[in-house]
Structure 1
Amino acid sequence: MTSLKSQLSKLFAKYVAFKLNKWASKPTETQQRVFKQLISKAKNTAFGVDHDFKNITTYEEFRQNVPIRDYEELKPYVERTVNGESDVLWIGKPLYFAKTSGTTSGAKYIPITKESMPTHINAARNAILMYIHETGNADFVNGKMIFLQGSPVLEEKNGIRLGRLSGIVAHYVPKYLQKNRMPTYKTNCIEDWETKVDAIVQETIDEDMTVISGIPSWVQMYFEKLTLKTGKKVGDIFKGFNLFIFGGVNYEPYRAKFESLIGRRVDSIELYPASEGFFAFQDKQEEQGMLLQLNSGIFYEFIEADKFFDDSPQRLTIGDVELGVNYVIIISSTAGLWAYNIGDTVEFTSLHPYRVIVSGRIKHFISAFGEHVIGKEVEQAVQNAVAESSASINEFTVAPQINPVEGLPYHEWFIEFEKEPEEESKFVQILDKALQEQNSYYFDLIEGKILQPLKLTKVKKNGFQDYMKSIGKLGGQNKIPRLSNDRKIADKMYQLELTK
């Protein structure tokens, strides 16, 4: 018998689908409206005054007045906000700072404002509601739901609370889900990731878990601990488990391993959240890509990734983008981020409506020889190799080997196998062939005898977890970069003796 909660969720889902389709069908008008609202509201802020927002009436004027910035370049304004000043990047003071670990800048403080906070919550909610609307499956709302996330314990800095995004969002779980939500607040506050996962296993092992959410690599760790403790498949432990919600990384390299751990296939919803904004979510089960959130107080610009480091790369708006091109995504938002480079690259899979996949990071690529290999390409190569072999993979990363002891340079692939391929040489050939087929520069370098085909270095069981632990980034929202343009990760793996 259908519960009242699931009946109500279907009605709400129908309403949300109607509202989403309304703005998704008018993308240019929607973005133009968002743009005008942003400029109007921020015209009297310090940033608005410095960039003459009062006299900006068109996107062209905005482009002339506001250069693209990354965190380092926006940092002087952020620091004024962190120090307690009002009306700097946005009206008033932020509600929170999402604290993230930067590379060159140490800790990064990304503002979350009264206007931007609801967009994080609504997008996550709408992703689930769109799934209900499409599939009619709403029974899971009656079961237990787990969200593997960072600690909800927040610090305070000049009257503004700060913490990890997932910890901040944990304070906004709707009341109607509080009874279903796991783990307990006490367990969620455990800082050490391994201790936390062990506690979550204890709390959830006898529950009716229907929805499980988190970054795939860390959910995999949870599943493995459950299986080790019970000797059962996750799908047998949680018979009602039928929906996996994830974000942060591509699920496909993990899918075979997950289905093995679960014992069956479950539906999944992909999300694209970040401290800077909730940009997209999967709105259709059978469509590739995630619906770009054009009506969430974020104005988007795009620059072709191949031209990003040119002196004056062309900045495009939503109406100018094309399918299959790798773009750097630039945002201006109600959080007070202006022409801000978030560091991600995306490709559009649909223009009606606008759907994207995350193709990588503008700083996470290999171009030691001009090949510009990106995350999407290596992930596709892994999918091909796994599909054509008996292998399954836990984790991987790729680095250039510029100065080998002998022979030509090459790409070194560090792979932690769950199940090693029966024919390792064939597996490597499939990987390399798939990369050559996707990337013409890499193909030319192999053909021209500038590079030799890739080489495989096998990583010990739990080697990547040990690596993340060694750098203090085990768990939470931390992820292994798929690609590096240097050998910092590679050298550390060897130093820690994590390779076979």
Structure 2
Amino acid sequence: MLNFFKKKAALVWAKKHVQKTSEFKKNSEKNQENLLLSLVKTAQKTLFGREHDFENIHSVKEFQERVPVADYEDLKPYIERVKKGQANILWTDTPEYFAKTSGTTSGSKYIPISKEGMPFQIAGAQSALFHYIAQKNNADFVNGKMIFLQGSPEMEEVFGIKTGRLSGIVAHHIPSYLQKNRLPSWNTNIMEDWEAKVDKIIEETEHENMTLISGIPPWLIMYFEKLTEKHGKTIKQLFPNLQLLVTGGVNYEPYRDKMEDLLGGKVDIIQTFPASEGFFAFQDDYTKEGLLLLTDHGIFYEFIPLEEYGKPGARRLTLKDTELHKDYALILTTNSGLWGYSIGDVVRFIDKNPYRILVSGRTKHFTSAFGEHVIAFEVEEAMKAAVEKYPAQITEFHLAPQVNPSEGLPYHEWLIEFEKEPENPELFRSQLDTELRKRNTYYNDLITGNILQPLHITALKKNAFQEYAKSQGKLGGQNKTPRLANDRKIADLLESYKL
């Protein structure tokens, strides 16, 4: 009886929530401008606000004139002051949390999360589930066990500010009505050795009624593979009531075939777009691609056309000025004190009523050693099309330029870990090259102009990417290997795992 009422309550809450969100979907453009001015007004007396004349900002244009686009290094002097316990630096008071992330150029990054910002991190995930329940008209999963593959919830303190990984911070805010259903246990969750942690998670979940599983695709696959190897069954055979996967962190599509093979049955998927800086978007219709941009969650968005990013005079567009199917560097201003912050993600709009996006890459993850500027979305779509024509199963891949080959013209090298190789590797390679040429005219020009030779594929051993991540101390959590690079730092290390 209790389960019946729990499920019924979830359906009622979900439908009320979706009805309430219709307002922000209709008025995103105006709401965004009002939000920015509200953020500026709130932060007028902060150090950053005084230095950038917030008192005299009354429009988006005036904000853009006074506040430059910044990356972590630009804001780091302010964050260092906050880390020493100083208040009213970037935002009023001190942050409630620091989300600690690993940076490639800055060492560890400390992303502030204010008491105003934290509720939106939770609300984004809740909204994703409520939209799913309302659309599906089914909340059966709330009565089963749920698992969140995440970082340790243990935290340290930096001058009184709780500090840890975002996924660990969020673990402290999971609603009480879900806590009894949640796995793994605290002692397992705080384990740092990822392989040992996954083994322990398997022990705690393999005989449970799992109905919802959440995590980034590479680590879901690792968990599922270990389960299937141990029991000789598909995931749906082990967990017949598994209804929903919630993923984020990377594009799900390149993992879909492998995931479906491991699952062995129908499971719904919701893709999300969370980060330490905020919860930006989620798939509000699980049957269609595209993530609903959350324009009322304490974040003002700007969009720089990717071809202009990093150049003097680059345009900073707001929602109303964006175009469909163009790539934009995502810029944030948040209610945690990030101002004109370049998060490093690239997005493209596929709908403007309401605003829906795809995450198409990273500003720092591209291949352009020859001026081609190939981005993640292009290589992932090319791979998807090649696999459809010449069936193969891909575990993971990495693309890097080979500028100085031992013979012949330079080329793109694709280092691929196949779960199942194509029957004809040469036809697959040729098709992959053709598909990338279709999607990137600059790459096509380089091939036709005999500047580059067609791409090469280097097949890697099973578990190559896991072994590489382990060797770099980046196995598990939210770590993932970039799909593209403009140098050979990763490629040269992956070469040691070739077949």
Q: Give the TM-score taking structure 2 as reference length.
A: 0.99
Deviation at 1:37? 1.2
What's 2:196 paired with? Answer: 195
Measured against aligned partners, the alpha-carbon deviations of 1:38-62 in whole angstroms (never above 9, x if no partner) come to 0111011000000010111111110
What's 1:409 paired with? Answer: 410
Q: Where does structure 1 lack aligned partners over 5 or more consecutive residues?
A: none
SS of the residue aligned with 1:172? coil
What's 2:252 paired with? Answer: 251
Aligned-partner Cα distance in 1 for 2:357–2:369: 27
Give yes or no for the alignment of 1:179 onto 2:180. yes
Deviation at 1:104? 1.0
Aligned-partner Cα distance in 2 for 1:426–1:399: 21
Deviation at 1:390? 2.7
What's 1:499 paired with? Answer: 498
Deviation at 1:69? 0.4
Aligned-partner Cα distance in 2 for 1:287–1:295: 22
Aligned-partner Cα distance in 1 for 2:202–2:387: 29
Aligned-partner Cα distance in 2 for 1:468–1:397: 13
Aligned-partner Cα distance in 1 for 2:475–2:327: 30
Measured against aligned partners, the alpha-carbon deviations of 1:343-400 in whole angstroms (never above 9, x if no partner) come to 0000001000000010000000011111000000110111112212231011111000
Aligned-partner Cα distance in 2 for 1:373–1:137: 41
Measured against aligned partners, the alpha-carbon deviations of 1:248-282 in whole angstroms (never above 9, x if no partner) come to 11111111111111111311000000001100000
Report the RMSD for the aligned CA atoms in angstroms.
Answer: 0.9
Deviation at 1:129? 0.4
Give yes or no for the alignment of 1:227 onto 2:231. no
What amino acid is aligned across from residue 75 of structure 1 in structure 2? K
Aligned-partner Cα distance in 1 for 2:386–2:217: 20
What amino acid is aligned across from residue 498 of structure 1 in structure 2? Y
What amino acid is aligned across from residue 497 of structure 2 in structure 1? L
Aligned-partner Cα distance in 1 for 2:237–2:421: 26
Aligned-partner Cα distance in 2 for 1:413–1:91: 48
What's 1:39 paired with? Answer: 40
What's 1:332 paired with? Answer: 333
What's 1:303 paired with? Answer: 304
Matches within 5 A, 1:385-396: 385-396=386-397
Matches within 5 A, 1:420-439: 420-439=421-440
Deviation at 1:334? 0.5
Deviation at 1:18? 1.3
Deviation at 1:288? 2.1
Aligned-partner Cα distance in 1 for 2:267–2:235: 11
What amino acid is aligned across from residue 398 of structure 1 in structure 2? L
Deviation at 1:92? 0.3
Give yes or no for the alignment of 1:147 onto 2:179. no
Aligned-partner Cα distance in 2 for 1:23–1:251: 27
Measured against aligned partners, the alpha-carbon deviations of 1:140-178 in whole angstroms (never above 9, x if no partner) come to 111000000000000111001111100100101100001
Matches within 5 A, 1:78-93: 78-93=79-94
Identity %: 55
SS of the residue aligned with 1:461? coil
**Number of matched residues?**
498
Which moves more between the two structures, 433-442 or 25-34? 25-34
Aligned-partner Cα distance in 1 for 2:113–2:428: 45
Deviation at 1:303? 0.4
Aligned-partner Cα distance in 1 for 2:390–2:182: 39
SS of the residue aligned with 1:417? strand
What's 1:288 paired with? Answer: 289
Aligned-partner Cα distance in 2 for 1:153–1:431: 44
Deviation at 1:84? 0.9
What amino acid is aligned across from residue 186 of structure 1 in structure 2? N
What's 1:94 paired with? Answer: 95
Aligned-partner Cα distance in 2 for 1:268–1:389: 25
Aligned-partner Cα distance in 2 for 1:134–1:436: 38
What's 2:162 paired with? Answer: 161
Aligned-partner Cα distance in 2 for 1:286–1:221: 25
What amino acid is aligned across from residue 292 of structure 1 in structure 2? L
Aligned-partner Cα distance in 1 for 2:61–2:181: 49
Deviation at 1:33? 1.8
What's 1:366 paired with? Answer: 367
What's 1:470 paired with? Answer: 471
Matches within 5 A, 1:23-172: 23-172=24-173
What's 2:344 paired with? Answer: 343
What amino acid is aligned across from residue 261 of structure 1 in structure 2? L
Aligned-partner Cα distance in 2 for 1:310–1:178: 48
Measured against aligned partners, the alpha-carbon deviations of 1:48-83 in whole angstroms (never above 9, x if no partner) come to 000010111111110110000000111111111011
What amino acid is aligned across from residue 428 of structure 2 in structure 1? F
SS of the residue aligned with 2:323? coil
Aligned-partner Cα distance in 2 for 1:196–1:18: 40
SS of the residue aligned with 1:29? helix
Aligned-partner Cα distance in 1 for 2:106–2:153: 24
Aligned-partner Cα distance in 2 for 1:313–1:69: 13
What's 2:379 paired with? Answer: 378
SS of the residue aligned with 2:172? helix
Deviation at 1:430? 1.4
Deviation at 1:287? 2.8
Measured against aligned partners, the alpha-carbon deviations of 1:101-135 in whole angstroms (never above 9, x if no partner) come to 11111110000010000000000011000001111
What amino acid is aligned across from residue 30 of structure 1 in structure 2? N
Deviation at 1:286? 2.9
What amino acid is aligned across from residue 76 of structure 1 in structure 2? P
Q: Where does structure 2 lack aligned partners over 5 or more consecutive residues?
A: none
Measured against aligned partners, the alpha-carbon deviations of 1:441-487 in whole angstroms (never above 9, x if no partner) come to 00110000001110000111101001001111000000110100000
Aligned-partner Cα distance in 2 for 1:59–1:399: 39
Aligned-partner Cα distance in 1 for 2:368–2:284: 34
Aligned-partner Cα distance in 2 for 1:71–1:347: 23
What amino acid is aligned across from residue 138 of structure 1 in structure 2? A
What's 1:206 paired with? Answer: 207
SS of the residue aligned with 2:485? coil
Aligned-partner Cα distance in 1 for 2:254–2:317: 31
SS of the residue aligned with 1:250? coil
Aligned-partner Cα distance in 1 for 2:140–2:34: 37
Aligned-partner Cα distance in 1 for 2:27–2:131: 19
Aligned-partner Cα distance in 2 for 1:15–1:26: 19
Aligned-partner Cα distance in 2 for 1:300–1:225: 40
SS of the residue aligned with 1:68? coil
What's 2:441 paired with? Answer: 440
SS of the residue aligned with 2:461? coil
What amino acid is aligned across from residue 311 of structure 1 in structure 2? P
Measured against aligned partners, the alpha-carbon deviations of 1:191-212 in whole angstroms (never above 9, x if no partner) come to 1000000000000000000001
Q: Give the TM-score taking structure 1 as reference length.
A: 0.99
